[in-house]
Amino acid sequence: MSQQLSEQEIIRRENLQAIIDLGINPYPSESFPVNVKASEVRANFTEENQEGYQEVVLAGRFMSRRIMGKASFAELMDSSGRIQIYVNRDEICEGEDKTLYNKVFKKLLDLGDFVGIKGYAFFTKMGELTIHVKEFTLLSKSLRPLPVVKTDADGKVYDAVTDPEIRYRQRYVDLVVNPEVREVFKQRTVIYNTMRNFLNEKGYLEVETPILQPLYGGAAARPFKTHHNTLDMTLYLRIANELYLKRLIVGGYEGVYEFSKDFRNEGMSRFHNPEFTQIELYVAYKDYNWMMDLLETLIEKITMELYGTTEVTVGDNVINFQRPWKRYTMYEVIQEFTGTDVSAMTEEEMFDFAKSLHISVDKSMGRGKLIDEIFGEKCESLLIQPTFITDYPVEMSPLAKKHRSKEGLVERFEAICNGKEICNGFSELNDPIDQRGRFQEQLELGKRGDDEAMVLDEDFLRALEYGMPPTVGIGIGMDRLTMILTNQKSIQDVLFFPQMKPEVTKTEATEE
């Protein structure tokens, strides 16, 4: 099927051909010697400080043009922002040949084209910083028009590109017309780098573990499945990297971490994407109390790096990440928000209690899953300030160590912030006999219809039988954490390329 072009796209292709006919290569191969960014000129150039800005070389997108006879003003946008440029026909064209200005700059150059300029900085009579162009080069021709973001006389945007269908599916367009989006992803990088530096300074080793796994494990989730033709075997995209990182603790490392891409074949929402990033950290000879203290210190450090304060505005809330954070046990928080002590309830009683709260549950759910549903429906969304939920029932945590003093519980915590979980951690179960029994219980839940129940991993059990020291582990959801720390409403806003439904073209929609 031939490509259907809009009128503007046809005009741009005609302009492209006209440029080629003039003997100008619209896609040159040579490097262009950029020596400064627009933001640097804006930040440092003054009437008193002109040194170093008399030979400015900039490159970026051509974003506006005001033609005034043989002279024009325009805007150039590079990765750091916009800057005004001034072009005089007689200064960029040699001799009597005015083609570059009269034909190319005035008529054949389109908004969105990449251009390079050489010139010097100055202030106009109106006091606006401008680059006086002495040389002009077309670097890349744009064949599609960018969405036009309109502003009023005061410079306020009133027709911004906000349609998620455009923004998420065509992120490359979103990043051009909504420069503030680029700042979110720069902040995301600051979060990653701060974490990495913090952990490296403590001597922990950054590692990589398999994404394609013969068995999925380390979390309660449904996996994506694929097939390896040469080995003729089923493989799974990892849902977590926990079991592999703990194998490395068995192997002798005392602190390992990984920023991992994980994949879970589950529902999508503004808090869930089937492909997501988390960091998992495992440290030998420590417990969950130590890890909660470490997390508080780490997040406090990140907020200071981002904003110079521990207070972060998220929607209508001001969240303070200063240590110490509030702590509830799982049973305490349920009693706090439902008024009922569920600690001694049987599975049947828990099921009836959940039904009385109008929570959707079914008979495939074990006691742990029922507690999780009650907490998720009645408590989680009310926890706005960073809060630790600790001491989970053993049924909810098949990889966590039993509590040292509380029967039926494990040494596990989750950190909740702005109504959502941002991490999960626990003192790791290192008793191979207990671990085998927990896996067996998960298999029974799977037989009852729980498609998120864990499978039994014999190699992991073998590793534990060689001996794993007391260890604590944590997994932090990087996407959710970034949402909170950058004040974004949807996980799609912190992923460059979120998963989306197949695109339906206008032709396909008409045919249907």
Q: What is the pLDDT of residues 427-446, one digit of tens each?
A: 999 999 999 999 998 888 88
CA distance 264 to 491: 15
Same domain, 273 and 399: yes
Residues in Cβ contact with 365 at an 8 Å cutoff, skipping those fewer than 6 apart: 351, 373, 450
CA distance 296 to 415: 10
Q: Does residue 158 belong to any structural domain of this protein?
A: no
373: nearest Cα among 349, 389, 390, 357: 357
Angle, vertex CA 458, rays to CA 453 and CA 461, nearest 5: 95
Q: What is the pLDDT of residues 354-372, one digit of tens each?
A: 999 999 999 888 888 899 9
Q: Does residue 371 belong to any structural domain of this protein?
A: no
Give pLDDT, residue 48.
85
Domain that holds residue 129: 7-146
pLDDT at 154 over 70: no
The residue type of 303 is T
Half-sphere exposure of residue 212: CA atoms within 13 angstroms, side-chain side? 7
120, 146, 172 - which closes a domain: 146
Give pLDDT, residue 270.
86
Q: Phi, psi (5° rounding) for residue 157?
A: -75, 130
Same domain, 111 and 196: no
120: nearest Cα among 95, 167, 146, 86: 86
- In angstroms, the Cα distances linking 505 to 2, 7, 348, 495, 512 are 13, 17, 51, 24, 11
Q: How many domains does the chain have?
A: 2
Same domain, 71 and 215: no
Token reading at 147: 């969405």
Q: Does residue 47 belong to any structural domain of this protein?
A: yes
CA distance 219 to 454: 7
CA distance 392 to 411: 7
Same domain, 209 and 101: no
Token reading at 393: 């029932």
pTM of the model: 0.90
Same domain, 135 and 190: no
Q: Does residue 310 belong to any structural domain of this protein?
A: yes
CA distance 423 to 113: 44
Q: Does residue 276 belong to any structural domain of this protein?
A: yes
Q: Does residue 169 belong to any structural domain of this protein?
A: no
Same domain, 405 and 276: yes
Token reading at 347: 């599975």
Give pLDDT, residue 100.
83
Give pLDDT, residue 1.
46
Which CATH number belongs to the domain containing residue 26 in this structure? 2.40.50.140
Give pLDDT, residue 5.
93
DSSP 405: S
Same domain, 119 and 188: no
Same domain, 124 and 218: no
Mean pLDDT of the chain: 92
Q: Does residue 368 belong to any structural domain of this protein?
A: no
Same domain, 201 and 136: no
The span from the first CA to the last CA of the chain, in angstroms, equals: 16
DSSP codes joined into one string, 462-498: HHHHT---SEEEEEEEHHHHHHHHTT-SSGGGG-SS-
Same domain, 271 and 411: yes
Q: Can you tell me the mean pLDDT for 334-353?
A: 95
Long-range (24+ apart) CB contacts under 8 A made by 176-181 are 176/61, 176/77, 176/112, 176/146, 177/146, 177/147, 177/149, 178/149, 179/77, 179/81, 181/493
CA distance 428 to 423: 15
Q: 83 or 369: whose pLDDT is higher?
A: 83
Q: Does residue 39 belong to any structural domain of this protein?
A: yes
Same domain, 263 and 390: yes
Token reading at 127: 């006091």
Same domain, 134 and 204: no
Which CATH number belongs to the domain containing residue 235 in this structure? 3.30.930.10
Tell me which of 47-51, 124-128, 259-263, 276-280 is least confident: 47-51
